[in-house]
Amino acid sequence: MLASIQNKGGKIKPTHLMYKSNLSHNQMTSYLEELIGKAFVAKSKKNTYDYIIITDKGIDFLIKLKEMKEFEKTFGL
Amino acid sequence: MTVIEEYSTSYLNEKHRKNSMELELIYSPEWFFGKDIVIDIVSIVALVLISFFALRCYGINKKNTNYLYLALSFGVLALSFISKILANFAIHKEITQTKEGFLLITQQTIHFYPKFFAWTVGTYIFFTLIGLFMLYNVYRKQSITTTILITYFILLISQVSFKTHIIFHLSAFILMLLIILEYYDNYKQNKGACTKLVMLSFITISISYLMFILVKINNVFYVVAELVQLIGYIGLLSAFIMVIKNGKKKNKN
């Protein structure tokens, strides 16, 4: 989900996020609540549209996650 | 002015002399004394950085215990190098100069602390072999009984290696070969510059253990082995830096 938001320039509409992440509405709502709770994403409103934006903490976490995957691959973990 | 150089040792009693002859692990040429510490520090830096990173990964994903085992094994290997550095302080020279008329007498005293040396070298051998075994265990999980048995054998090797260092270096080389096989398998599965560099680094480090075996023939091999070890750990450090860079680079795209 975080990667989907970032690929869209850090801001995405909830419906687009649902399609991009290939999740059901309930699944997405549940994951989104967790991500908001951890301050990785935040909700914002612009011209009556709701948007989900990735926070700096979310970007940092995404970087860490990608480093982890690279490390895992390199050392065969 | 005439300069007279007089050499003497502080461990003149028979007991200490006997100890110094029994411990077969000093093979560094005199001009290389202390320089190997720098090489060991580079190795420690590489090992500690990888260990801390693996520990941080474990903090994020506790389900993958391999991160923890890798962190521990690299941490133990770093401890082994710290013990090796400490062993250098068991022997030190003291140079005193006294002037008698027209003569300047330079006296060189070598201080040797056999008990401290035995402890530091013993822990170096033990931590190296345990660290390598733990690293192998990351890829090939061993049962508790096998682990206890191998730990016992490593303890035995740590004791026997005081008499003949070949056993230690050969054991480390064999463990390294087993680890290299795992990294070769990983390279075949995930072909990339980083996986290749990790495999090549471990091959280089294993060659350094072979070089240490040859030290008895000529102590120049000690310098060669240390330099090969340095290349190996620089390779490992480079692979780690590449991992971090790749993680950040892909994120930008």
Q: Which of B61, B182, B247 sits opposite A70 (nearest CB)?
A: B247
10 Å Cβ neighbour count for B242? 18
Residue B233's pLDDT is what? 95
Tell me: the pLDDT tens digits for A25-48? 888 888 888 888 888 888 888 777
Which residues, 6 or more positions from B114, have their beta carbon under 8 angstroms from its beta carbon?
Answer: B11, B16, B19, B20, B23, B90
Its ipTM equals 0.75
CA distance A54 to A6: 7
Tell me: the pLDDT tens digits for A50-72? 888 888 888 888 888 888 999 99
> Quick check: B190 and A73 CB within 8 A?
yes
pLDDT at A22 over 90: no
Q: State the smallest CA–CA distance between residue A49 and chain B in angstroms.
A: 27
Predicted TM-score (pTM) of the model is 0.79
Q: Which of A62, A66, A77 sits opposite B64 (nearest CB)?
A: A77
Chain A residues with CB inside 8 Å of B194's CB? 70, 73-74
CB B152 within 8 A of CB B116: no
CA distance A23 to B203: 45
Residue B27's pLDDT is what? 66
Chain A / chain B CB contacts < 8 angstroms = 67
Q: State the smallest CA–CA distance between residue A45 and chain B in angstroms.
A: 26
> Quick check: B248 and A63 CB within 8 A?
yes
Tokens 């008990």, located at residue? B115
- Angstrom CA distances, B129 to B23, B182, B240, stand at 19, 17, 23
What is the identity of the amino acid at A76?
Answer: G
B29 touches chain A (CB under 8 A): no
Residue B14's pLDDT is what? 40
Sign of the four-CA dihedral B171, B177, B180, B185: negative
Residue B250's pLDDT is what? 52
Restricting to B residues 163-182, those with a Cβ less than 8 Å away from any Cβ of A are 182
Q: Which of B62, B184, B246, B253 should be substituted to probe chain A, the one whose Cβ sees the most A Cβ atoms within 10 Å?
A: B246
pLDDT along chain B (253 residues), means of 10: 37 41 57 83 95 93 91 96 87 75 77 81 92 94 92 89 83 94 93 92 94 86 92 95 82 47
Chain B residues with CB inside 8 Å of A70's CB? 194, 243-244, 246-247, 250
